[in-house]
Chains A and B, each alone.
Chain A
């Protein structure tokens, strides 16, 4: 004769009570009541076996959870409260900082600071890029129609809600333009960079990361030209590398610029470059009239240029770092090489 549902329930409640006050709650899993329940399963008629076994299992799951809760409570019992307002614990000494020479800022933060500093001195404001955005800012406002093949190149992630971890810092461009419109109409210019973390659906290896950093620039005035874009970019890289540089371009296609270019510099001697070695640095171009229009800026009165490139590449070239994966590894052996 097997136990009834009511009887099983009462065994469960009894054991849960024991767990709640036990100092060694896990031992209760070995209680004779449990053994008895399991022992019964074997002697049951096959028709009853499944249902009974299921009930016994539920008892066990409930007990396991109660044991975990009790264990966490027991661990906390031993925790001695602190005077959270004190400068140090009783009978201890004043804390000390670690040696300053251990400290390091992340190489990406350091390099972004250098980039922002140069652009700031050139008259560009700097804002950090978003890390979650929508299709409109990532693509729509930038003249990428829905299902446009140019979207393929961006390998974007999506959230359940349809938000996008931005795949380029251009996701800030529409905002910069909208915000700068008033300044433009008062006779000023829009000069802004956005920097930050971007995401692409790529498998990680020494030269690919799903998470990396970019910096993007936007300049709009009544008379901005492609020649000015080339001059501005050359000026940035000359300041960055502290030497005169040759530049070259090749046509590139990005829906949000027209004309669109890829921009390269002759590899500076300071990072081991020889004449004739070229480094592709970024994509750039004159802002497409549709992008200006979308931000409410009249493309017949104003024109501008935009550019954007990766940050890690600059750092890897600067230090000769061979593997992208170091950057997000949080390994002290790597980080302390960048002690200031």
Chain B
């Protein structure tokens, strides 16, 4: 919305520089997007009088003019009388006309501020020098009229400033509409001026006509009928008024002054009828609509009824702009009889539009439900100044003063007369709100020390009527235009805002010394993240939404993903069920950028329909961590073990040990689907609780995502890890004062024996010995034939009571050997 400072000044004194005003508006009223200085744009435009106009010989439209500017423009050729020669092609050019002259060196206002401002000069046209030009409304950047030059319609001296004549030494303030969504009053110049008074600490006085909600104009005139008004439901329209005016004409223009106010507010002047309606809308925030009375009556049929009802499913309507729309039962329509004649509040229909033959109009002043306005506007994609205001909730009481003012202006401009009574269907009559106020409560919420008088004065400035009792409690009567104010907090906001929130002293809340700790979940996740960072890996964040094809390629069921109905693109249509597919997409691009050996990981939430809902009936979310290691060059190592090594390193940070089981049984289908079962494992706690999957990827994945031969990773449940970490007891054994012993043993075992079998067998023995022991792998060797393999381990033992003897160590090792060979059918070499 664009607000003209000069227009504001007609209603409020502004005694500070514009930049300070704009800052104040920003701090206490609404976000300002920018300002435009109009004065600069019009500074060289001069009012001139045409002394003579003669057709240029050999031209069918050019006239040779001598104009009088009282000699104010410098450096321009003049004749003996001091007049200046200009060539003009406009059909309406004539002697004695007052016009806007753009002299040489003047920038054409239409091009002002553009990339290529057009600077005028003295140049010949068909053999005659034209000193600049006479401007049309379009060249003056007022509106799109180029058929003729602008005719100045005020008394003005030749040579006077065009800008001064029409108040164009103005600043325009561009307001961010979104920050005013709840303030229908501020969508009118008068309402905005009221606020500007309030934030300056000045008392505002609303014009009498706008406060007068009681006067009823009009009376029945023979030969004319006012329609009967019918509102289907007060939920659609609280109030609908009409009055009939005779003697209007479509071909009459409004005053240039009105046109300039419309134009600078971003509304295109059309004709006097439309302009008056728009002018009052800009002034008050109340849109109005004029119907061709005869057409309206004809469409209505026998009984002249105008109604407001919901549209019927698939009902059609041709709008003013010629477009036919199909409506549904959530649109509000205006009807004549039962026939839809307009999309209420948004756009009138073609069947009752005013045109060149119109002599009589029916003026509509109504309110419509803002929620319906908003949904219809969205659905039909129509964005107008009128509907913008209706979506803020125009107050019903505003209708009467605006109707009366419109009538007055139409009468004055056209010499038209009222030929009906005012018909007023007021089904949702609003009562004036009275709200209790307690100055202590105001101060308690804001953290201020206002007296009751301070509060009363701030509110009184913007025409709330306030009365306080001796106990500093009181009542506030809300003016009709503030239909956004309902509860004491709304009043408190007004007090804070009008006095300036920035004047409130910033303090700190008092609280006890209880320490707050991060959640266990955040703690564990941070430890895991740090472990992976220390492993030289890079954390990524990837989108939560993926393409359906990605799910399918990853072997996941499409119907198990929540689908976004209004997604930006198919790439972002489904909630992901696991993180790994997203990461797989980012391996090859990084390799192509020259990274050989790397790993990426992500902590994020995943969503599967099969997880069900929480007790709040929203989808259960799972927290996952996924990692992928890739090496574009080195294929001599087995990727699985690299991933396993990182996994064990990460889990060590939270004290969790796991076992690696075949990829079958209790596994999360969505997490497991990308992994090759023969080279992957189910990761489970010692108690057998599955926490995720680790492994290399299926050949089809490698192909799809162009993975290098070395690629492996894991995806685990962070929720389970947090549970596991919590269950880990704190464990510490003191450092022994005695030296320990170590012994290396090489087991030759059948090829199919697993490493875990050896370790578990050994640990089962070591666990029963009253020594501190450990066992670790040293070497794994497999000869060419592949029948057997040699696994070398190192056994450490230390006593906390004495120095161990070689015999004692040998006994320990022998016990281990005996158990391991028994379990594996192997031997020691």
- Chain A interface residues (CB < 8 Å from chain B): 72, 75-76, 79-92, 94-106, 108-109, 113, 116, 120-121, 123-128, 130-134, 137, 145-150, 152-153, 157-161, 163, 165, 175, 188-189, 191, 197, 199, 201-204, 210-211, 219, 221, 223-228, 230-232, 234-235, 247-253, 258-262, 286, 288-289, 303, 327-328, 330-333, 335-336, 340
Contact = CB atoms under 8 A, between A and B. Distances in A.
Contacts of A100: 533-536
B368 to A, nearest CB: 13
B726 interface: no
Given A98-B597, A120-B516, A149-B181, A76 B678 contact: yes
A128 B638 CA distance: 37
Given A79-B699, A102-B537, A123-B511, A90 B529 contact: no
Given A92-B637, A120-B516, A225-B507, A328 B446 contact: no
A228 B780 contact: no
B73 interface: no
A81 B179 contact: no
Contacts of A81: 678-679
B337 interface: no
B496 A226 contact: yes
B203 interface: no
B621 A120 contact: no
Contact of B755 (A87, A158, A210, A253): A87
Contacts of B30: 250-251
Given A106-B540, A126-B518, A332-B595, A97 B678 contact: no
Interface stretch (B259-267, B565-573, B799-807): B565-573
Interface string B747-782: 000000011110100000000000000000100111
Contact of A116 (B181, B518, B593, B599): B518
Contacts of B532: 103
Contact of B593 (A87, A147, A262, A333): A333
Given A116-B518, A158-B565, 12 more contacts: A85-B755, A92-B636, A92-B641, A98-B535, A132-B607, A159-B563, A188-B512, A225-B447, A227-B506, A228-B507, A235-B508, A249-B501
Interface string B337-377: 00000000000000000000000000000000011101100
A221 B445 CA distance: 11
B302 interface: no
Contacts of B29: 251
B7 interface: no
B590 A332 contact: yes
Given A148-B371, A199-B544, A221-B509, A163 B562 contact: yes
26 contacts: A84-B679, A84-B681, A86-B641, A86-B780, A89-B780, A90-B780, A90-B782, A102-B538, A103-B534, A108-B541, A113-B526, A116-B522, A130-B621, A131-B621, A132-B607, A132-B619, A146-B371, A188-B512, A191-B509, A201-B566, A202-B568, A251-B501, A262-B31, A330-B541, A330-B589, A332-B538
A328 B571 CA distance: 14
Nearest to A133: B618
A314 to B, nearest CB: 16
B445 A303 contact: yes
A159 B506 contact: no
B519 A89 contact: no
Interface of B: 26-31, 178-182, 370-372, 374-375, 378, 391-392, 444-448, 487, 489-490, 492-493, 496-497, 501-502, 504-509, 511-512, 514, 516-519, 521-522, 526, 529-530, 532-545, 562-568, 572, 575, 583, 586, 589-590, 593, 595, 597-600, 603-605, 607, 616-619, 621, 636-638, 640-642, 644-646, 649, 659-662, 676, 678-681, 695, 698-700, 754-757, 759, 777, 780-782, 789
Contacts of B181: 149-150, 153, 253
Contacts of A335: 538-540, 600
Contact of B641 (A76, A89, A147, A158): A89
Contacts of A125: 516, 519
B780 A92 contact: yes
B599 A149 contact: no
A104 B700 contact: no
A318 B195 CA distance: 38
A303 B698 CA distance: 57
A79 B678 contact: yes
A89 B533 contact: no
B502 A248 contact: yes
A131 B544 contact: yes
Contacts of A210: 568, 572
Ranked nearest first, the 6 interchain pairs of A and B with the lowest CB-CB distance are: A227-B447, A98-B536, A225-B447, A85-B756, A259-B493, A90-B782
B593 A286 contact: no
A82 B679 contact: yes
A126 B519 contact: yes
A85 B777 CA distance: 12
Contacts of B645: 87-88, 94-97
A104 B644 contact: no
A149 B392 contact: yes
Given A81-B679, A253-B179, A75 B506 contact: no
Nearest to A299: B489
B566 A158 contact: yes
Contacts of A163: 562, 618-619
Given A123-B511, A159-B562, A336 B538 contact: yes
A219 B31 CA distance: 26
Contacts of A124: 516
A296 B497 CA distance: 29
Given A84-B681, A89-B780, A103-B532, A259 B374 contact: no
A315 to B, nearest CB: 12
A231 B640 CA distance: 53
Nearest to A88: B641
Contacts of B539: 104-106, 109, 335
A249 B445 contact: no
Contacts of A289: 487, 489
A189 B516 CA distance: 12
Contacts of B782: 90-91
Contacts of A150: 181-182
B796 to A, nearest CB: 16
A226 B446 contact: yes
Given A92-B637, A232-B508, A132 B621 contact: yes
A278 B538 CA distance: 34
B516 A105 contact: no
Contacts of A76: 676, 678, 698-699
A231 B507 contact: yes
A149 B374 contact: yes
Q: In the complex, which of the residues A83, A163, A232, A249 has the most CB atoms of chain B within 10 Å of its own CB atom?
A: A83
Contacts of B493: 258-260
A131 B543 contact: no
A216 B526 CA distance: 20
Contact of B180 (A84, A109, A152, A253): A253
Contacts of B695: 84
B777 A97 contact: no
A321 to B, nearest CB: 14
B690 to A, nearest CB: 14
Contacts of A262: 31, 179
A105 B777 CA distance: 32
A301 B756 CA distance: 63
Contact of A89 (B562, B637, B661): B637
Contacts of B618: 130, 132-134, 137, 163
B23 to A, nearest CB: 9
A101 B536 contact: yes
A36 to B, nearest CB: 32
Contact of A253 (B182, B565, B621): B182
A233 to B, nearest CB: 8
B27 A249 contact: yes
A146 to B, nearest CB: 7
Contact of B646 (A97, A145, A149, A328): A97
